[in-house]
Amino acid sequence: MASDLQHIRSYYSPNDLYNRIIEGLDKLGKNLATITLDDLQPVDEFHIRGDAATRELIALAKFTPDMHILDVGCGIGGSTRRLSRQTGCRVTGIDLSEAYIDTARRLTRLLAMERVEFHACSALELPFEDRSFDGVWSLQMNMNVEDKLAWLAETCRVIKPGGRAIFYEVCGNKNTPLHFPVPWAQDSSMSFLLPPQSFRDQLTLAGFEIEVWNDKTDLARSAFSDVTAPVGEPDLPILGVYLLVGDDIQAKAYNLHRNLDEERVSLIEAVAVKPAC
Ligand SMILES: C[S@@+](CC[C@H](N)C(=O)[O-])C[C@H]1O[C@@H](n2cnc3c(N)ncnc32)[C@H](O)[C@@H]1O
């Protein structure tokens, strides 16, 4: 794994993550033998609008049970599992963080989902043959990737011709710089945002054709409209994405709110297709 990714990997490497989630479930009175996707949803869907967005993207993707889909930057696998459960497709998730992949595997075992598997690796060096997957699913990972073209070309390489790739991505906007920290980065050394049109150009250069391109910034802004500046000790729920990236999550959410309101970040969803040969 390239050493320049180490600080990003460290950011996404909390201690004892699986056990902390299990303790949280316990405190909430959940029975581990009958745990559901919904029980995990407060902690395992680490993207703007969480499960509501996942369900909309599943409808957009039109993946079918015979397909094998690659989830690039899967985190602890919340949307990976939801995608498989709802469509019946087989899904392989990859992520840079070994801590996240270990947790993803153990949660998936708890749910006895045999069509979902995980590997720890970089999205820039996927350990798969050309044309291995029927489609790709990638939710809010691009922000940590400096070389977008290398990542997107690598993604395009592993899809079969005619395959569809779903992207749900935070991009830059008219104004810079960002307020830090944000949920995906402690500081500017880990955050690489392109304005939406430049991100779209990179997709095309990597070999994709754009089938759907929707600006979701207004929805993101509404989702964060009530977030206020944190005061005093953090008031954290039993389960939440702070378990993934630290107790300063309220400051990160507040900065995301400001960045959205001040047109420093935007949110897009896209369906990109690898042309049939
Ligand atoms: C904001 S989280 C989103 C996780 C997941 N897609 C979700 O929606 O719950 C970003 C994820 O991208 C992963 N990531 C960042 N850079 C990566 C890279 N170069 N290769 C693979 N994963 C990466 C991080 O480890 C993290 O899990």
Q: What is the CATH number of the domain that holds 198?
A: 3.40.50.150
The residues that bridge with 136 in the sheet, in sequence order, are: 70, 165
Distance 137 CA to ligand 1 centre (A): 12
* Containing structural domain, residue 204: 3-273
Q: Calculate mean pLDDT across residues 9-36.
A: 97
Give the number of the atom of ligand 1 that is nearest the alpha carbon of residue 9. Answer: 25
pLDDT tens track for 139-173: 999 999 999 999 999 999 999 999 999 999 999 99
What is the percent of the chain with per-residue pLDDT over 70, rounded to a whole number? 99
- Distances in whole angstroms, Cα of residue 11 to Cα of each of 30, 70, 180, 181: 29, 23, 14, 12
Distance 124 CA to ligand 1 centre (A): 12
**Ramachandran angles phi, psi of 229, nearest 5°:** -65, 135
Q: Calculate mean pLDDT across residues 3-9.
A: 85
Does position 7 have pLDDT exceeding 70, yes or no? yes
Q: Among candidates 256, 171, 182, which has minimal Cα distance to 221?
A: 256
Please report the pLDDT score of residue 277 as a whole number.
74
User: Quick one: residue 49, left, alpha or beta (phi over 0 = left, psi -120 to 50 = alpha)?
Assistant: left
Look up residue 265 and give its two tokens: 């970040």
Separation of alpha carbons 274 and 126, rounded Å:
17
Give the number of the atom of ligand 1 that is nearest the alpha carbon of residue 97. Answer: 25
Which residues lie with the beta carbon below 6 Å from any ligand 1 atom? 5, 8, 12, 45-47, 73-75, 78-79, 95-97, 100, 122-124, 139-141, 144-145, 184
Runs of H (alpha helix) within the chain: 6-11, 17-27, 37-44, 50-61, 78-87, 98-110, 148-158, 196-205, 217-223, 242-245, 249-261
Does position 128 have pLDDT exceeding 60, yes or no? yes
Distance 277 CA to ligand 1 centre (A): 30
Separation of alpha carbons 7 and 144, rounded Å:
10
Please report the pLDDT score of residue 2 as a whole number.
45
Q: Calculate mean pLDDT across residues 204-225.
A: 98
Tokens 């995301």 label which residue?
256
Number of structural domains the chain divides into: 1
Give the number of the atom of ligand 1 that is nearest the alpha carbon of residue 184. Answer: 1
